[in-house]
Structure 1
Amino acid sequence: MTTNEPFRGWIVAARVLMAVIFLVAGVRKLMTYGATLGYFAKLGIPLADVVLPLTIALEIGGGLLLIAGWRVQWVAGALALFTLATAFAAHAFWAADAAQFNAQLNNFLKNVAMAGGFLLLIVQAGAGERAAGNRG
């Protein structure tokens, strides 16, 4: 029995809950592709026409891979970096007008908290691999 076995159901639930936001966001971007492309351009994201399909692939693909538990350390690492980059690129509360300040601050902090959750998944996955390696 590995160290994580008693918590396996909780760990899977955590991965699913963290993946949902990416799956929904990716599908919504796909369904509103033109509008999202315009929003990316408004944010000043360079090469928005290249970045958008990559973003959709990362959100949908990363979400599905996270749920499946495939290479959790790599997937969680990629999503953590993406989430932090998104916090700075799309939720610049420090530059928001008074009407948008609270919403942007909350979204920024949500992204930071999610990155923290991904760090926990990375540590947990690493501990599980080490425990499995010590069994034999």
Structure 2
Amino acid sequence: MTAVFDSKQDLVALLGRIFLAAIFVITGYLKIAGFAGVTGYIASKGLPMPAVLAGLTVVLELVGGAMILSGWKSRWVALVFFLWLIPTSLIFHAFWAAPAGQESAQQIQFLKNVSIMGGMLFLMAYGPGRYSVDGGR
């Protein structure tokens, strides 16, 4: 059975990159469409310069997502996403401090981010695979 997985390793890496990139590209686009709401949400958390932070988030999600999708410098961008997801999860999805009735939804979002961080660790460790701009490096 291991031989079956080994023979498809590069295809699986490509599919994994597509799935990892999708959430960032899609949410980056949605943040553009709802920029005022995103800025307001960031401001509601007491963070400074919410419009700047929202803009940087859009750039990171769209550009970083495209880099993961293409496999260009994907190990480095995976590290950036991994590190970025730590404060993002702790600030925006603090389920332990969520208002009554929102705990479960925030816990799901928090755990989703932790799962994405796991995917980023795999990408950092094993690279993007042969079907990438970097050619598996």
TM category (shorter chain) comes to 0.7 to 0.9
| Cα distance between partner residues in 1 of 2:11 and 2:87 | 30
Deviations 1:69-115 (A, max 9, x none): 00111011111112222111100111112200011111111111110
Q: Which residue of 2 aligns with 1:32?
A: 34
Partner of 2:106: 104
Shift of 1:6: 4.2
- Report matched runs for 1:32-111 at 5 Å: 32-111=34-113
Higher helix content, 1 or 2: 1
The one-letter code of the counterpart of 2:65 is G
Mapping of residues 93-132 of structure 1, within 5 Å: 93-125=95-127
* TM-score normalised by the chain length of structure 2: 0.85
Q: 1:5 to 1:95 in 2, by over 3 A?
A: same
Gaps of 5+ in 2: 1-5, 131-135
CA distance in 2, matches of 1:125, 1:45: 34
Please identify runs of 4+ aligned residues in structure 1 that moved more than 3 A.
none
Instruction: Compute the TM-score of the two structures, normalised by the length of structure 1.
Output: 0.85
- Report how many aligned residue pairs link the two structures: 127
Q: Does 1:14 align with 2:12?
A: no
Please tell me the residue identity of whatever aligns with 1:86. Answer: T
Unaligned runs of 5+ in 1: none
Give the Cα separation in 2 of the matches to 1:126 and 1:26. Answer: 22
